[in-house]
Amino acid sequence: MSGLLTQLVRRQASMMMPRRNASALFLAGPPINKVTNKICSVDASMLQHRVFLNGHCLLKNKSYDRILFILRRLVSYEQHESPTVPHHVHPTPVLPLTEKIPSSCHILIAGGGIIGQSVAYHLSQIGVEDIVLVEKSKLASGATWQSSGQGIHLQNTLIQTHLTKYSKQLYEKLERDGHDIGYAEKGSVWVAQTSDRLHTLKRQYATIKPLGIGCEILNLEKIKEKLPIIDPHEIWGGLWVKDDFMVDPVSLALTFAKLAIDNGVKIVEDCSVKEILTEKQRGGQYDRVTSVVTSQGDIKCDVFINCTGLWARELGYQSSPGVRIPTQACEYMCLKTKPIANFSKDTPIVHDPDERFYIQPLADQSVLIGGFLRESKPIFSNGVPEAFNYSLLPDNWDDFHWILNNALKRLPILGDSEYETLITGADSYTPDGRLIMNESAEIDNYFVASGTNGNGIAVAGGVGKYIAELIHTGNTEQSTWPIDIRRFMRLHTNKRFLKDRLREIPGMINIFHRSEPEEFVLGKQYSLKYPTYGMSLYRTGRKLRVSALHPKLQAVGAVFGEVLGYERPLFFNLDEFEKRENLDDLSKQGTFGKARWFNIVKREYNACRKGVAVIDMTSFTKYELKSANRSVIDFLQMLCANNIDKPIGTVVHTGMLNEQGGYENDCSVIRLDDYHFLLISPTSQSTRSMKWLKSHVPEDGSVFLSDVTSLYTALNVIGPKAKYLLAELSDENFNDFARMTCREIDVGFVSHIYAMRLTHTGEDGFMLYIPSEYALCVYEQLMEQGKDYGIINAGYFAQRTLRIERMYAFWGQDIDKKTTPFDLNREFRVSFDKEFIGKAALLKQKSEGIQKRFIQFLLEDHDMDLDPWPWSGEPIYRNGEFCGFVTSTAYGFTLGKQVCLGYVHAPKGEKITTNYIRGATYEIDIATKRFRARPNLYQPSEMGPTVQLSTP
């Protein structure tokens, strides 16, 4: 290790002299590399070294720990520089740029990084004309310029893996066509130091293999074949991803620019966006961009796209209304060595997620060593400086030496290399570590593509393609909901929230999870991802939204998860676990098998099926719609596939469909009065569903629309004894309370409660929508009176199990905008005798036949105590051929088996029928182990009759 490490310390000492007006040199003692070895190793012996600064001996008779401390302080004196990033070595094309922006265009793109230029290229490729791209500085001078250029297929959402796959194919073609972008299919070796890490890699393998991505599970011997120079210490196995690649990011970006210009796109540098001007539409319900104010003048446009990367959040506020873009700049680091003579050019990229680093060989036989910290460092909380182009952050050796130490241990050959530069840069990250794209919620023709989370090069090609499709046709090849900007709310753009949450997020991809106890690691990208079954369990930025019952539920043992900032009880810890401080860890569970909370959820489930329980479901999104005449009825009839023009007090389950017949929303519509409705949507749909409603509301302002989520606390009083309990607290006759109806009732001392006979699970019971200021009173009376019926609290996990056993699909997990009622076998919830959005597409699908079908699978040979559990995302095989993915899972306490919901897709040219499903054998792959699966087209008879399926 002497070459690289010796040079690091000597360089820092020499760099220090001009700033401190001092001389620094090492004097007599053991060789200097022994000192520097201490900086990056665990050798505990003592040295007597002396470093002189202005004639003062700093290290005389110091212990290794003290030497380490002092040398790190010396390193921190280095002045900030803005050097050329040295690993961008490929020639870049000369571009015929436009000197002055025109007065108008069809599409205006802000941001000349890799994303903006990919969008411009793809729009021009499909024939869109009159496109202008403006860059406030020089092209590719922001995060693109700093990028390592890696393309990794192990992304944290399936859609991002698809984007990366397309990017690889595109970049490979560009290189074949003669564009020197430095493309190289290097492949990646991922190593695992624990059995859980290896299990995670096997899950990733099982997911990406059916997509046609070249990969292979490696044992230790195969790892040594791929990487003869690796130190195999503590390695359990690994994963080879053949298709992972590298490019020169600047050359790629400027190639996109050249090809876009060839297709007629105008690109203007040194032109910053100052303000986005809008005008009201549809009676003031929403806004559209009309023109943009720039440093070179105003420009009118029909569509505006924010691709400004690090600056996207701040630019979002330069319009009225402001566009909320929850991104935050965070620091990242990598070190480049000088070329290593005996380092093979065929060496693949190395990832060691347990030690948080990667090693990336470059074309000139030099190496990049990069990685991520346990706790990330958000920067520029008040906004990224306008002039932060071609800029780096001050070197941070205090943090980077941990990364370097681990990399040198894994590939000892690097210890003889020579140091060239440390690159400390910045990129934009999001609160959930996933990309942001799509049309904004606030402004109709304002699109966003940002928040790449260090993955800009990998996804850039795919993002450009999908944004171009979205703008040109209004649709994309696949659902993009996991990366849709409308998955967020206003609270997610709060500066303090972002600064807190982003300590927990950054990392290259979802696979970067550290296999050590959660309390020691803040960064979710570094801790192993254990199943959480649809709920996020971040430690930062919590308790932003809570129901009126939150303190009460917490006091009686609720373990909370979070969805869209809302705290939801997952289950209730009683007397089975002694340490209350470990409640969060119970839900994280630390196992890929049977959860520690299994018996708790079973108890809550049984109460829901056989007795009575209360579930706080306040987080549901709630809208009030009304008008002075039939306007609100006509509005909802056009939006809803089902007939909502029913008698007052009727509850209707319905989808709101798009023109392709897919679900934009899956909701319940309750008629409270002649022209007064309450609409209930999934929690995650809050921003998205409001956007959909506003974009169709009558222009004359005749329909009043309001979000009333916070006004009502929603309690699910569930179970066969629910009606008897409520009868003791109310004067209502619950024996003639029809299914799927709503009444205004009294409960105990509280009046004006909306009671609906449904539970969203198929079990009997009532949803109570209580004015929030009365919620605690109602809850306490229910629990007190319910003692005679054995009432208990229940959580989201029990409710989830009930709906999965009943084969109830849930929007955002099982349903998206590509799913139709025929795919779900829900055509009974479609009224074809009226007009509605998507009707034509459904009639066409009905006549042509369906190509995918929602199926329930029961695992036949799964040992719940010994085998790993499914938790969504597992591939499904029909007669040995891949046919789809699992979307939701739970252990069925009534069915006594693992229950998986998912889709079976038919090959092109074939249609799905009952015989197609039943006349085949199925398997579900859990981390490379396949389990036989029995398909159910309908919910199993063992569950008993469904009490709320039909609509009156």
Q: Where are the beta strands (DSSP E) in 111-231?
A: 131-134, 150-151, 188-192, 215-218
8 A C-beta contact, residue 306 and residue 463: no
| Cα separation, 319 vs 335, whole angstroms | 39
pLDDT of residue 945: 77
Sheet holding 24-26, edge to edge: 24-26, 51-53, 56-57
pLDDT tens digit sequence for 372-394: 888 889 999 889 999 999 999 99
Could you tell me the CA-to-CA distances from 144 to 258, 334, 457, 909 in Å, in that order? 16, 14, 8, 43
Q: Say if residue 746 is exposed, middle or buried (CB neighbours under 10 Å; 0-12, 13-18, 19+).
A: middle
8 A C-beta contact, residue 644 and residue 654: yes
For residues 274-306, one letter each, b for 16 or more C-beta atoms within 10 angstroms of the residue's C-beta and e for the rest, the string is: eebbbeebbeebbbbbebbebeeeebebebbbb
Q: How confident is residue 575, by pLDDT bands cut at 50, 70 and 90?
A: low
| Cα separation, 678 vs 536, whole angstroms | 28
- ω into 952 cis (within 30 of 0): no
Residues linked to residue 767 through DSSP beta bridges, in sequence order: 716, 756
| Cα separation, 208 vs 254, whole angstroms | 30
Q: Which 8-state DSSP code applies to residue 92?
A: -
| Cα separation, 623 vs 629, whole angstroms | 18
8 A C-beta contact, residue 629 and residue 640: no
pLDDT of residue 7: 59
Sketch out the chain's domains with CATH numbers.
2-75 (no CATH), 107-147+250-326+432-494 (3.50.50.60), 814-943 (2.40.30.110)
- pLDDT of 30 strictly over 50: no
pLDDT of residue 156: 86
- pLDDT of 293 strictly over 90: yes
Q: What letter represents residue 718's amino acid?
A: I
Mean pLDDT value of segment 535-553: 90
Tokens of 930: 């396949």
Q: Phi first, then psi: what are they for 57, rounded to 5°?
A: -80, 120
Q: How confident is residue 396, by pLDDT bands cut at 50, 70 and 90?
A: confident
How many residues are listed for the chain in this entry?
A: 952
Q: What letter represents residue 72's amino acid?
A: R
pLDDT of residue 3: 62
Q: How confident is residue 85, by pLDDT bands cut at 50, 70 and 90?
A: low
Q: What letter represents residue 522's amino acid?
A: L
pLDDT tens digit sequence for 706-730: 999 999 999 999 999 999 999 999 9
More confident position, 503 or 221: 221
Count of H helices and E strands in the chain? Answer: 23, 41
pLDDT of residue 533: 74
CA 752 to chain centroid: 40
Percent of the chain at pLDDT > 90 equals 76
| Cα separation, 464 vs 170, whole angstroms | 11
Q: What letter represents residue 870's amino acid?
A: P
CB atoms within 10 A of CB 463: 31
Q: Phi first, then psi: what are they for 936, rounded to 5°?
A: -125, 125
List, in order, residues 6 or more apart from 788 with CB less than 8 Å away: none
Select from 143, 178, 616 the least CA-distant residue to 390.
143
Q: Which helix (H) or strand (E) holds 735?
A: none
Mean pLDDT value of segment 437-443: 96
pLDDT of residue 584: 53
pLDDT tens digit sequence for 881-930: 999 999 999 999 999 999 999 999 999 889 999 999 999 999 999 999 99
| Cα separation, 639 vs 836, whole angstroms | 6
CB atoms within 10 A of CB 524: 25
More confident position, 342 or 936: 936
For residues 163-172, one letter each, b for 16 or more C-beta atoms within 10 angstroms of the residue's C-beta and e for the rest, the string is: bbbbbbebbb
3-state secondary structure of 122: helix
Q: How confident is residue 343, by pLDDT bands cut at 50, 70 and 90?
A: confident
Tokens of 557: 């043992």
- pLDDT of 791 strictly over 70: yes
pLDDT of residue 873: 95
pLDDT tens digit sequence for 613-666: 999 999 999 999 999 999 999 999 999 999 999 999 999 999 999 999 999 999
For residues 566-577, one letter each, b for 16 or more C-beta atoms within 10 angstroms of the residue's C-beta and e for the rest, the string is: bbbbbbbbeeeb
pTM to 2 decimals?
Answer: 0.89
Q: How confident is residue 527, by pLDDT bands cut at 50, 70 and 90?
A: low
Could you tell me the CA-to-CA distances from 305 to 312, 448, 821, 873 in Å, in that order? 10, 6, 33, 32
Q: How confident is residue 48, by pLDDT bands cut at 50, 70 and 90?
A: very low
List, in order, residues 6 or more apart from 374 with CB less than 8 Å away: 356, 514, 520, 521, 522, 523, 526
Select from 20, 29, 78, 27 the least CA-distant residue to 54.
20
Supply the mean pLDDT for the chain.
Answer: 87
